[in-house]
C-alpha cells in the first residue's frame, strides 16, 4: 500500500476519464444507424434510410468497456478526494458537483433531450417532422412500443443515469475506506496480487458472476430509468469499489502499463469472441445456459482486458502536462451533459435524407463537437456554469493555440 499523501496530478487518468466521456459522444452519434439492435433494446429507433454494420461494431466495442472504466476512474478519484479532504468534505463536494447538476439537468437538459428523441422516433417510424408532436401520434407510438414489450411507462433520465449511479456509489465510500484500512496488514501481498496477471483472471471471473442476470452478457437494459436496477448497480458498483481500492495500491498503475500490450492482444481475441457468444445466446433455441455462460465469461474478460489496455496505454503516452489534456479533462463534463441535444437535433433533421450512414454519423459528430466545445469555450469555462460544475472558473485558450506557445 502507498502510505504517502497523494499530491500528484494524474494527467494520464484525467485524459482517460475525459476520453471515456467523449467516447460516449461517438457512441451516441452512431447508435441511430445500427443494422441489428440487440433484443434488450426493444423499440430502439434507427434511421430507416441509413444503416451500417460498422456502427453495430462501434456500438458494441465502445459499450464493452467505456462505462466500467469510467466507474473505475470515478472510484479512484473519489479515494483521492477522501485522502486529501476527508470524508465529510468529499460528500459536500460530490453533492455540489454531481447531485446538484443531476437535479438541474433533469429539469433543463433532459426534457429538451426527450423532446428531440421523441421527434427522431416519430420521424423514423412514421415520417413525421414536427418539433412539437401531436398527441395522437404520441399515443400511436406508445401503443406500438407496448406491443413489442418496450418499457414505455418507466421514467428515464437518459444519459444522466451515470450521475445517478455515481450518487449510489458514493454511499459506498465509508465501506471502501474501511475495507482498505482492515487490509493494511496484508497491503504488500495485496499490491503484489493486484499487479500480477492473476488479478486479471480473478476480476474476469468475478465480473462474470455480476453479468449473469444480463441477456447475452451485455449490460444494455435497466440502468437508464429512475427506478434503481439492482443488477446494474451491482455490476457497475464493483468497478467503482475496485477503483477506490486501487488508489490505496496505486503503484499497481505501473502494472497496467506493463500489461497493456498483452491485454491489447487478448482484447483483439475476446471482443469478436464475446460478440459471437452473445449472438449465439440471442438466437439460440431450447436450453441456452451454455451459450449464456460463454457470453458472460467472454464479455467479462473482454471488458477487463480493454480496461487494462486503455489505462496502461494512456498512462504510458499521456501522463504529462499538456494543454490538450487539460482542455479535454475540463470540458468533457459539460460536453457529455449537453451532447445529446446537438446529436438528436442533427439526427432528426437528417432522417428525410437518403445519405450513407457514415455521412449522417459524421454530421452528427461534427454538430456535437461544434455545439459542445463552442458553448464550453465561450459560455461555460469563464462563467458561473463552470463554477457550478467544477467549483472554479477556467480561462484556457484553444489547446492548439496554447500548444504553440
- Taking residues 277-298, what's their average pLDDT? 93
Alpha carbon distances (Å) from 75 to 44, 70, 92, 189, 372: 31, 9, 16, 21, 26
Determine, yes or no, domain membership for 145.
Answer: yes
Q: What is the pLDDT of residue 1?
A: 59
**All residues at 6 or more sequence positions from 202 whose CB lies less than 8 Å from its CB, including other chains:** none
Predicted confidence (pLDDT) at residue 213 exceeds the cutoff of 70: yes
Determine, yes or no, domain membership for 6.
Answer: no
Predicted confidence (pLDDT) at residue 4 exceeds the cutoff of 70: no
Q: What is the pLDDT of residue 258?
A: 95
Determine, yes or no, domain membership for 26.
Answer: yes
Q: How far is CA 368 from the centre of its chain?
A: 17
Q: What is the pLDDT of residue 278?
A: 96
Higher per-residue confidence, 151 vs 368: 368
Q: What is the pLDDT of residue 290?
A: 94
- Taking residues 13-32, what's their average pLDDT? 96
Determine, yes or no, domain membership for 351.
Answer: yes
Roughly how many angstroms between the first and final C-alpha of the chain, as a whole number?
A: 40
pTM of the model: 0.95
Determine, yes or no, domain membership for 5.
Answer: no
- Mean pLDDT lowest among 33-47, 193-207, 288-302: 33-47
pLDDT, tens digit, for every residue of 303-319? 999 999 999 999 999 99
Determine, yes or no, domain membership for 3.
Answer: no
Q: How far is CA 172 from the centre of its chain?
A: 20
Residue 183: is it exposed, middle or buried by C-beta count within 10 angstroms (0-12/13-18/19+)? middle
pLDDT, tens digit, for every residue of 127-147? 999 999 999 999 999 998 888
Predicted confidence (pLDDT) at residue 5 exceeds the cutoff of 90: no
Q: How far is CA 176 from the centre of its chain?
A: 22
- Taking residues 168-185, what's their average pLDDT? 96
Beta strands in 57-215 (DSSP E): none
- Mean pLDDT lowest among 64-73, 284-293, 368-377: 284-293
pLDDT, tens digit, for every residue of 104-113? 999 999 999 9
Predicted confidence (pLDDT) at residue 64 exceeds the cutoff of 60: yes
3-state class of 102 per DSSP?
helix
Q: What is the pLDDT of residue 184?
A: 94
**All residues at 6 or more sequence positions from 242 whose CB lies less than 8 Å from its CB, including other chains:** 72, 75, 203
Predicted confidence (pLDDT) at residue 3 exceeds the cutoff of 60: no
Predicted confidence (pLDDT) at residue 2 exceeds the cutoff of 60: no
Determine, yes or no, domain membership for 1.
Answer: no
Into how many domains does the chain fold? 1
**Domain coverage including residue 245:** 11-402
Distance CA 47, CA 348 (A): 9
- Taking residues 342-361, what's their average pLDDT? 97
Q: Which residues of 224-250 are buried (b: 16+ CB within 10 A; e: fewer)?
A: bbeeebebbbebbbbbbbbbbbbbbbb
Residue 136: is it exposed, middle or buried by C-beta count within 10 angstroms (0-12/13-18/19+)? exposed
Closest CA to 214 of 202, 205, 223: 223
Side-chain-side CA neighbours of residue 127 (13 Å): 3
Q: What's the mean per-residue pLDDT of the chain?
A: 94
Residue 316's CB is within 10 A of a number of other CB atoms, namely: 14
Q: What is the pLDDT of residue 350?
A: 97
Q: What is the pLDDT of residue 341?
A: 98
Amino acid at each position: 500500500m502507498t502510505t504517502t499523501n497523494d499530491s500528484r496530478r494524474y494527467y494520464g487518468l484525467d485524459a482517460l476519464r475525459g476520453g471515456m466521456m467523449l467516447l460516449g459522444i461517438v457512441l451516441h452519434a452512431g447508435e441511430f444507424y445500427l443494422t441489428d439492435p440487440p433484443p434488450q433494446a426493444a423499440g430502439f429507433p434507427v434511421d430507416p434510410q441509413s444503416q451500417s454494420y460498422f456502427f453495430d461494431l462501434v456500438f458494441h466495442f465502445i459499450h464493452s468497456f467505456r462505462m466500467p472504466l469510467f466507474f473505475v476512474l470515478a472510484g479512484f478519484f473519489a479515494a483521492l478526494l477522501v485522502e486529501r479532504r476527508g470524508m465529510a468534505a468529499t460528500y459536500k463536494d460530490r453533492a455540489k458537483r454531481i447531485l446538484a447538476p443531476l437535479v438541474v439537468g433533469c429539469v433543463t437538459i433532459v426534457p429538451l433531450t426527450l423532446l428531440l428523441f421523441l421527434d427522431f422516433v416519430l420521424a423514423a417510424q412514421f415520417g413525421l417532422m414536427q418539433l412539437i408532436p401531436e398527441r395522437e401520434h404520441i399515443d400511436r407510438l406508445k401503443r406500438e412500443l407496448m406491443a413489442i414489450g418496450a418499457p414505455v411507462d418507466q421514467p428515464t433520465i437518459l444519459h444522466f443515469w451515470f450521475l445517478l449511479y455515481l450518487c449510489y456509489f458514493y454511499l459506498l465510500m465509508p465501506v471502501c475506506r474501511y475495507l482498505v484500512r482492515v487490509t493494511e496488514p496484508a497491503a504488500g501481498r495485496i499490491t503484489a496480487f493486484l499487479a500480477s496477471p492473476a488479478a486479471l483472471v480473478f476480476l474476469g471471473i468475478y465480473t462474470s458472476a455480476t453479468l449473469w442476470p444480463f441477456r447475452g452478457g451485455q449490460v444494455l437494459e435497466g440502468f437508464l430509468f429512475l427506478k434503481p436496477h439492482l443488477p446494474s448497480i451491482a455490476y457497475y458498483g464493483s468497478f467503482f469499489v475496485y477503483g477506490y481500492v486501487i488508489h490505496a495500491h496505486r503503484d499497481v498503475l505501473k502494472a497496467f502499463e506493463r500489461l497493456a500490450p498483452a491485454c491489447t492482444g487478448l482484447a483483439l481475441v475476446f471482443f469478436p469472441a464475446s460478440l459471437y457468444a452473445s449472438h449465439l445466446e440471442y438466437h439460440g433455441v431450447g436450453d441456452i445456459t451454455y451459450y449464456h455462460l460463454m457470453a458472460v465469461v467472454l464479455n467479462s474478460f473482454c471488458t477487463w482486458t480493454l480496461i487494462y489496455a486503455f489505462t496502461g496505454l494512456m498512462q504510458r503516452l499521456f501522463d504529462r502536462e499538456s494543454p490538450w489534456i487539460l482542455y479535454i479533462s475540463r470540458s468533457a463534463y459539460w460536453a457529455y451533459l449537453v451532447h445529446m441535444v446537438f446529436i438528436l437535433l442533427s439526427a432528426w433533421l437528417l432522417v428525410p435524407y437518403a445519405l450513407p450512414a457514415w455521412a449522417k454519423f459524421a454530421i452528427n459528430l461534427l454538430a456535437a463537437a461544434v455545439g459542445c466545445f463552442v458553448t464550453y469555450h465561450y459560455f461555460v469555462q469563464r462563467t458561473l456554469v463552470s463554477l457550478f460544475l467544477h467549483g472554479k472558473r477556467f480561462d484556457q485558450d484553444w489547446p492548439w493555440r496554447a500548444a504553440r506557445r
